[in-house]
Amino acid sequence: MGFGNFYGLKATDLADAGNTTPAEFLFRTYFNSRDLENKHFAPYYLGKANTVPSQNLVDAFPMKTTGYPISDTQNSAYDPENPYDGRDNRFYLNIYYQGAVYGKTGLPVDVVYGGKDSQSYDPFASRSGYYQAKFLSKNEAMLDPLASTNAQHYYPILRKAEVFLNYAEAANEAWGPKGKDPDGICKFTAYQVIKTIRQTSGGITDTKYLDEMATSKESFRILIQNERRLELAFENQRYYDMRRWLLPLNEAVKGVVVTKEGDDLIYTFQKVEDRKFDGIRYYYSPLPYYECVKNPNLVNNLGWK
């Protein structure tokens, strides 16, 4: 499998999809319903906003023109007064943010106090200041009880991007960022794979940051981990990745509060929720109680009794 037919994931690969399985998907399920929209649409459009993006995820998307993370204030070209401009293409696939048009013909998202998407307007509105876009129909009126409709959805079980990311991670650990398979069986380096994903999915063509991270296996591992976070967002991968990488599970969830001063918008970032997964046991799952009862010699996983 090469990169010739690899493309950046599109919104219509996931919702409002046609009858042909997207070429990006190797295995998938599908359904024609409005269940996801009921659960995750903004309340203004009659959804429950059950899952919303965090500021933590928003901050993980680099700048498109430079490829640098926004935390690098010297090189990234990030503008804190316009925090959603010029980001990696995947940011716009995943997230509705202040001012983004909801769906195809909906109104701009407004999380300012009194705005239609703020908690002051509806107590079930997003706590983080963002709404999920990925996997949801762009027909923002589909939950109208007088004219409700369904949407065709595809859900990827395995897609090419994940295979490439799996390979890049393994290749980096085995041979380093630019090391090649000594047996010549694997044709690509980890660097080549991540470069292709960032360019094809993220729209990032500048390789300066990529080259900086490719100076060691350790720094390139960090880049791969973030690429998985962006590429596979909302695909039920992140929690399991963090556990196998032994990354901290107790990072507080952050959000944004947007206020107006005249015609200017002010963005204030704040903690939304603490995560108290602060013990070793949270990296493992417990053995079922009934199995432990059946065999008293069975030792439970680390941290579990």
How does residue 2 score in pLDDT terms, banded at 50, 70 and 90? low
Q: How far apart, in whole angstroms, are the C-alpha atoms of residue 194 and residue 146?
A: 47
- Give residues with Cβ within 8 angstroms of 135, minimum separation 6: 14, 15, 36, 40, 153, 155, 234
Rg (CA), the chain: 21
Classify 171 as helix, strand or coil.
Answer: helix
pLDDT at 5 over 90: no
The mean pLDDT value of the chain amounts to 96
Interior angle at CA 262, CA 64 and CA 125, nearest 5:
65
Closest CA to 161 of 103, 201, 132, 122: 201
pLDDT digits (tens, 9 = 90+) for 146-166: 999 999 999 999 999 999 999
CA 38 vs. chain centroid, Å, equals 20
Phi and psi at 243, nearest 5°, equal -70, -45
Classify 87 as helix, strand or coil.
Answer: strand
Q: How far apart, in whole angstroms, are the C-alpha atoms of residue 23 and residue 29?
A: 14
Question: What is the model's pLDDT at position 305?
Answer: 85
H/E element holding 137?
none
